[in-house]
Structure 1
Amino acid sequence: MEHAVSDIDALVREEKRLTAVESHNEAWAEGLSAGIEPEIIAEAALATAFAEILRTEGEDSALALLERMREKVIAGEFDPVRYRH
């Protein structure tokens, strides 16, 4: 039974992640339509995300997230050819 609960939790988390990606994609498109450069949109999104993590989870969590993202960049996970939502 415990395995089934973790599977459900994983499905719920993935659904939330996909909804968040969709929301961010819409906001990104709106920013581009308003003439805002991608770098500015990206910096604003990252600043907002890190401010929220700092507020809710603290500095250690924000730094851990930053390190995980750094490792993904180095590994090429955001390469436009490989990146899929």
Structure 2
Amino acid sequence: MEHTVSDIDALVREEKRLTAVESHNEAWAEGLSAGIEADIIAEAALETAFCEMLRANGETAALALLDRMREKVIAGAFGPDQVRH
């Protein structure tokens, strides 16, 4: 089976995403084990993410990410029954 450049790019992006999820899960677990409440960890993670988005891509990209995440929350994408990976 032959892969196109866009197929390979999509596979690389997904592998990077999964690696990022794994790293974040480890950091989350470390924070919890250090006695930090989940809401504090979540807020710090979101602040870091948006600061980086603003720095790297500007306000429009950060606001677009915020809009996508809001729509996912409304759609129930982060509910307890949803697979995270």
Q: Shorter-chain TM-score category?
A: over 0.9
Shift of 1:82: 1.5
| Structure 1 counterpart of 2:43, one-letter code | E
Q: How many residues are matched?
A: 83
Counterpart CA distance in 2 for 1:84 and 1:31 is 19
TM-score, scaled relative to structure 1 = 0.95
| Structure 2 counterpart of 1:39, one-letter code | D
Tell me the residue number matched to 1:80: 80
**Any unmatched runs of 5+ in structure 2?**
none
Quote the RMSD (CA, aligned, Å): 0.9
Counterpart CA distance in 2 for 1:82 and 1:48 is 24
Tell me the residue number matched to 1:39: 39
Tell me the residue number matched to 2:48: 48
Task: Tell me the percent identity.
Answer: 81
After the TM superposition, list the runs of 4 or more consecutive aligned residues in structure 1 that deviate by more than 2 angstroms: none
Q: Deviations over 1:33-78 (max 9, x none)?
A: 0000000000000000000000010000000000000000000000
Tell me the residue number matched to 1:59: 59
